[in-house]
Amino acid sequence: MKNTIGNNITVTLFGESHGEAIGCVIDGIAPGISVDEDFIASQMEKRKGINSISTPRCEADKVKILSGVFEGKTTGTPICLMIENGNTKSKDYAATRYLARPGHADYTAECKYHGFQDFRGGGHFSGRLTAPLVAAGAIAISALRSKGVYIGTHISRCADISDREFGNISEDIGLLDTLDMPVLCEEKRKEMLSFIESVKAEGDSIGGILSTAVIGMPEGVGEPWFDTVEGMLSHALFSIPAVKGIEFGKGFEIAEMKGSQANDAFTVSGRKIVTTTNNNGGINGGITNGMPLTFNLAVKPTPSIFKKQNTVDMKTKEAAELEIKGRHDPAIIHRARVVVDSVTALVLCDLLATRFGTDYLGCD
C-alpha cells in the first residue's frame, strides 16, 4: 500500500476526508528554496473554486508547516505540511455505508481494505487529499519560477464550449494566475459558468478538458524508456481524482497526420535550436527539447450527483437504489487546474533534480 511518488524528490500523502487532518511529507527537497506562506495561501484559494458551482463544504485550508522550513527557507530536511479538517458532516455518509456509489472508489476500496477503510466522504480516496498536493506544489512552483520555469492550465473545453488555445504562453499564464475560472476567453468563461449552473440545477454534473503549458524547461531533461517526461507526468497526473486521459502535444490527433505533417522541423533562433512547430509537445524520446511542454487532460464529471442511481448493497449483495445527499460539486474542472499545476511542478522538480542534482533548485 503505497502513498509516495517521486525519485529524488518524493511526496507522501496522509489523512482522510473526514479525519482530523490531511497532509503530506516532501523529502529530498534542496535547502535554500524560498517558502512564501502568502503564496501557498493564494494557491489554496484557487482550489476552493467558485461558490455558485462548487461544494458548499467550506474549509479554512490553513497550511501548517511542521518541519523542514526555517526563517522562510527550506532546510533540506523533510517538510511536513498539515491541514486540519473542520467542516465535516460524517452523518451524510453513515446511512449509505454499504451502498457503492457509482463512479466512486467505494467498491474497490472495500475489496482492497476488507471493510476497514474510513468510508466517510471517500476517506483516503477523496479529492480532499488534493489540498496537501496544492500546498506542496506551491513550494515546487516557487522553486521552478526562480529557474524561469512557469506553468499554466486552462479549461479548453466543457461540454461543447471551447476556449481559445494558448497564444502568447507567458502572457496567458500570467492571466490565468488572476482567474478563479481559468478560461482565457471572457465570453467562453461566462458560457461555461452558465452551463455548469444549469447542470447543477438538474442535479447532475459535468467534466471537461484541461490544457497545460510549461515554458522555460531546459532541454535534455528526462530519462529514456521508463522515466520519460511523459511517463513521469502521466504517473502523477493520473493520481488526481477524475483524470481519465492524457495526451501530449497533438496527442491522438497526430495519429491522423503524415510524418511530413507530424514532424517538428528544427531551425535556429539566435543561438538557440528550436522547432518550427510543436506537435510533439516539447518532448522527443521522452526528453525535453526546450520547446513548451504541452498536454491535455480529460476530467470526468463529478461522480456524486443528486439523481437516483442503481447500485448494490456490498454487505447483502442485493440490488439497491441510491440517492446521494450531502454537499457536492456539479463540476470540479475549475478547481482541478491548480492541482494539475501543482502536481506538474512536483514532477518537474523531481526530473530537474535527477538531471542536475538535488541542490539545483535551492540556494536561490
Cα 159 to its chain centre, rounded Å, is 20
∠ CA 24-27-33, rounded to 5°: 100
Burial class (CB in 10 A: 0-12, 13-18, 19+), 316: exposed
**Could you tell me if 209 and 157 are in contact, meaning their C-beta atoms sit under 8 angstroms apart?**
yes
Q: Is residue 221 one of the residues assigned to a domain?
A: yes
Per-residue pLDDT, 144? 98
CATH number at residue 314: 3.60.150.10
pLDDT in tens, the chain (364 residues): 589 999 999 999 999 988 899 999 999 999 999 999 999 999 999 998 776 776 655 678 999 999 999 999 999 999 999 999 986 666 666 778 889 899 888 999 999 989 888 888 788 888 899 999 999 999 999 999 999 999 999 999 999 999 999 999 999 999 999 999 999 999 999 999 999 999 999 999 999 999 999 999 999 999 999 999 999 999 999 999 999 999 999 999 999 999 999 999 999 999 999 999 999 999 999 999 999 999 999 999 988 888 899 999 999 999 999 888 766 789 999 999 999 999 999 999 999 999 999 899 986 5
The count of domains in the chain is 1
C-alpha 65/C-alpha 219 separation (Å) is 34
**Could you tell me if 323 and 306 are in contact, meaning their C-beta atoms sit under 8 angstroms apart?**
yes
Per-residue pLDDT, 50? 76
Per-residue pLDDT, 200? 92
Helix (H) or strand (E) holding 74: strand 73-74
Per-residue pLDDT, 1? 59
Per-residue pLDDT, 89? 62
Q: Is residue 363 one of the residues assigned to a domain?
A: no
Q: Is residue 134 one of the residues assigned to a domain?
A: yes
pTM, two decimals, is 0.94
Q: Is residue 176 one of the residues assigned to a domain?
A: yes
Q: Is residue 69 one of the residues assigned to a domain?
A: yes
C-alpha cell at 38: 502568502
C-alpha cell at 142: 516557487
Query: What are phi and psi for residue 73, nearest 5 degrees?
Result: -130, 150
Q: Is residue 116 one of the residues assigned to a domain?
A: yes
Question: DSSP assignment of 253-279, as one string?
Answer: GGGGS-HHHHS--EEEETTEEEES--T
List b or e across 321-330, with b for residues whose CB sees 16 or more CB atoms inside 10 angstroms: ebebeeebbb
Q: Is residue 364 one of the residues assigned to a domain?
A: no
Segment 254-262 long-range contacts (CB within 8 Å, at least 24 positions apart)? 254/279, 254/280
Q: Is residue 362 one of the residues assigned to a domain?
A: no
Per-residue pLDDT, 60? 83
Show the domain range for 74. Answer: 4-356
Q: List, for residues 52-66, the tens digit of each pLDDT value.
A: 776 655 678 999 999
Per-residue pLDDT, 33? 96
Residues 6+ apart with CB under 8 A from 168: none
Per-residue pLDDT, 363? 65
Query: Whose grid coordinates read 538531471?
Result: 355
